């Protein structure tokens, strides 16, 4: 009889499986309590929240950062394929910029479009290392420069690395603290799940989102700082401080089992059934095509752009960063045309907070749809449309009474691939009760439970989940909405 055994590199991905007979899993029955204690701690054992801005400024002054826009054909190591027009690196690694042809049909409406897309098949690691100090869990966060960040330096996870980074394809320095996420003898898994990246700009891209707890002493580095979950929650109220990679990992913080769906308008089973039905009713065909073949997209001297000036441009940068594994490089990035608006509509149903999720189709998703925010649009792309042709709920969010905005901050998207890609993230109280096709009212707890599974919740909704952890959605009075936690 032959026994089949999973290869060692897959074992860390199997944390959701039950332990085989005779083996006792390493569990922490008090984990939810410990996480809640950290979320409630607004002051840390190592750095006061009020001192954080000074610490970050100090890290900025300690290193040299320089960004230069260059024409795409001047990028060192990058070139356009003479046959397809695809933009790639001479090593054949990192990523390519190709074309995508998407057709969608939900049996009520058919859509079709062409666009550039980033193809980066490798799975990276986004990981936060946690450890107790004075009885409170702290997260080891990094001041990391990304060339696309509007302010360059933001708070990133402990590890934020593609496979090319940590296998040193670029011949750079070792990724700090990587061993805690690849050698689980050094740490204990708190969360580990594959999550999608931006489905509008990446083709089938996933990263491994991890939270692990150190079991021994952790060496210190000046570019890293220990913060409680509560301190990070305070920083999420500030513009462009906590980067996208941190936000998606923070959204994966486990929720207390059995409590997530309490009081929800729909049971957990009903939510999953609705989501399965949404995936089933959408027919999505996304076909990679040559970049040079895209209608309405023009390769100019300095960028690849849409002929009507909408959506985004593909641009080039030369980068110098003194604290990165490689200190100088060139690369293409996607630069959106205008700031986005990303929002949950929120209300209380039976005294329980709910948010309105949208089953979104994005061309780069691995599977038809993922759950996104109520609104996820760049308003300028729709300025020419009127009435029912405009995106649903966008105008309601744009015209929201300030007293009904529970949360508002500007956050940038992944600065390693996108340049100045900002969105105004919001949670807005509403009196609306409708659930149009493709929309459903769920509790924040139900949404957090779905994040424990791969490819259920998109990266923008995960940012809002992390932000919801930082605010209260308690009503002003019984069954009332309104007020602001800003």
Tell me the per-residue pLDDT of 329-354, one tens digit each, with 9 for 90 and over. Answer: 999 999 999 999 999 999 999 999 99
What is the token pair recorded at 310? 């909408």
| pTM attached to this predicted model | 0.90
Judge whether residue 486 has pLDDT over 60.
no
User: Do β-strands 375-377 and 422-429 pair in parallel, antiparallel, or remain unpaired?
Assistant: unpaired
**pLDDT, mean of residues 162-176:** 65
Alpha carbon 449 to its chain centroid, in Å, reads: 16
- pLDDT tens digits, residue range 23-62? 333 446 689 899 999 999 999 999 999 999 999 999 999 9
Q: Which residue has the tokens 């493709």?
A: 438
Model confidence at 328, in pLDDT bands (50, 70, 90)? confident
Judge whether residue 21 has pLDDT over 50.
no
Judge whether residue 266 has pLDDT over 60.
yes
pLDDT score for 161: 87
Judge whether residue 186 has pLDDT over 80.
yes
- pLDDT tens digits, residue range 353-398? 999 999 999 999 999 999 999 999 999 999 999 999 999 999 999 9
Q: What is the mean pLDDT of the chain?
A: 89
Instruction: State the Cα–Cα distance between residues 299 and 290, nearest whole angstrom.
Output: 13
Judge whether residue 321 has pLDDT over 50.
yes
- pLDDT tens digits, residue range 58-112? 999 998 889 999 999 999 999 999 999 999 999 898 899 999 999 999 888 899 9
Closest to 321 in 3D by CA, of 154, 163, 88, 158: 154
Alpha carbon 101 to its chain centroid, in Å, reads: 24
pLDDT score for 168: 52
Alpha carbons within 13 angstroms on the beta-carbon side of residue 101 total 9
């Amino acid at each position: 009889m032959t026994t089949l055994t999973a290869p060692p590199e897959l074992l860390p991905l199997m944390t959701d499986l039950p332990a085989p007979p005779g083996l006792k899993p390493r569990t922490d029955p008090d984990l939810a309590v410990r996480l809640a204690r950290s979320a409630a701690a607004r002051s840390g054992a190592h750095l006061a929240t009020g001192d954080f801005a000074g610490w970050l400024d100090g890290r900025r002054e300690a290193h040299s950062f320089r960004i230069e826009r260059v024409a795409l054909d001047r990028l060192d190591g990058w070139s356009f394929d003479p046959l397809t027009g695809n933009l790639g690196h001479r090593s054949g690694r990192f990523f390519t910029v190709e074309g995508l042809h998407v057709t969608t049909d939900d049996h009520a409406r058919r859509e079709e479009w062409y666009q550039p897309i980033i193809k980066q098949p490798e799975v990276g690691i986004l990981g936060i290392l946690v450890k107790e100090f004075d009885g409170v869990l702290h997260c080891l966060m990094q001041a990391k420069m990304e060339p696309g960040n509007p302010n360059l330096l933001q708070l990133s996870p402990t590890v934020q690395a593609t496979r090319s980074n940590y296998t040193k394809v670029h011949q750079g320095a070792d990724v700090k603290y990587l061993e805690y996420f690849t050698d689980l003898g050094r740490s204990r898994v708190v969360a580990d799940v594959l999550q999608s990246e931006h489905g509008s700009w990446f083709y089938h891209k996933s990263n491994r989102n991890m939270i692990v707890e150190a079991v021994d002493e952790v060496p210190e580095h000046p570019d890293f700082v220990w913060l409680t979950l509560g301190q990070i929650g305070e920083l999420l109220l500030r513009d462009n401080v906590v980067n996208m990679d941190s936000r998606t990992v923070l959204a994966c913080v486990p929720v207390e089992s059995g409590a997530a769906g309490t009081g929800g308008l729909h049971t957990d089973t009903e939510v999953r059934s609705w989501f399965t039905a949404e995936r089933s009713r959408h027919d999505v065909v996304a076909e990679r095509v040559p970049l040079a073949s895209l209608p309405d997209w023009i390769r100019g001297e300095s960028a690849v752009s849409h002929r009507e000036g909408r959506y985004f441009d593909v641009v080039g940068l030369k980068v110098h960063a003194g604290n990165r594994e490689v200190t100088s490089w060139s690369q293409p990035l996607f630069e959106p045309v205008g700031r986005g608006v990303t929002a949950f509509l929120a209300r209380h149903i039976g005294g329980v907070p709910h948010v309105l999720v949208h089953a979104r189709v994005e061309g780069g998703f691995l599977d038809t749809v993922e759950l996104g925010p109520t609104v996820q649009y760049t308003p300028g792309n729709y300025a020419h449309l009127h009435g029912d042709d405009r995106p649903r709920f966008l105008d309601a969010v744009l015209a929201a009474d300030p007293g009904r905005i529970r949360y508002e901050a500007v956050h940038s998207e992944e600065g390693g691939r996108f340049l100045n890609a900002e969105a105004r993230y919001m949670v807005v109280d509403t009196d609306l009760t409708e659930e149009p096709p493709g929309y459903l009212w769920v509790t924040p707890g139900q949404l957090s439970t779905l994040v424990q599974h791969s490819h259920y919740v998109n990266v923008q909704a995960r940012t809002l989940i992390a932000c919801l952890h930082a605010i209260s959605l308690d009503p002003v009075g019984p069954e009332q909405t309104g007020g602001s936690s800003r």
